[in-house]
Amino acid sequence: MIKIQKNNFSLDKEIDLIKSKNKEIGAVSTFVGYVRNINQNKKVNSIYLEVYENMAFKSLEKICNESKKRWNLIDTLVIHRFGKLKVNEKIVLVATFAKHRKDSNKSCNYIMDYLKKEAPFWKKEFYDDESSWL
């Protein structure tokens, strides 16, 4: 499942929803990314994430399907937020569901590595006196 949204999300509710649909899940690996207050030795006040939703959805769908081919997964979940986010707010959730931990761990890292380097999201950081697109 892929969600691209402005609104915050509940990690527990999202995971419980998928687990309630499949009782074979024995392992869930997650990565949650937050807005941090320092980047490149600058104090960050907030960020703005821009996204082309159709392109991002197709890109995330492709990487999740690739993960399911490489590992024995029951399901995947990627939630990525966009818009203005403050320090300590959640940006992204990647969760992979499998019978066993090795499949869920490896696939979660694989999807997150892709998101960090390849997904079509653009980030602008806001500092005290300036801002910068990264």
Query: Which residues make beta-bridge pairs with 86?
Result: 46
Is residue 129's pLDDT more than 90?
Answer: no
The phi-psi region of residue 83 (left if phi > 0; otherwise alpha if psi is between -120 and 50; otherwise beta) is left
**pLDDT tens digit sequence for 48-104:** 999 999 999 999 999 999 999 999 999 999 999 999 999 999 999 999 999 999 999
Helix or strand or coil: residue 107?
helix
**CATH H-level superfamily of 2-126:** Molybdopterin biosynthesis MoaE subunit (3.90.1170.40)
Q: Which two tokens stand for residue 119?
A: 């997904």
User: pLDDT confidence of 3, banded at 50, 70, 90?
Assistant: very high
For 7, counting Cβ atoms within 10 Å of its Cβ (0-12 exposed, 13-18 middle, 19+ buried), the class is: exposed
d(CA 23, CA 27): 11
Which two tokens mark 30?
């997650």
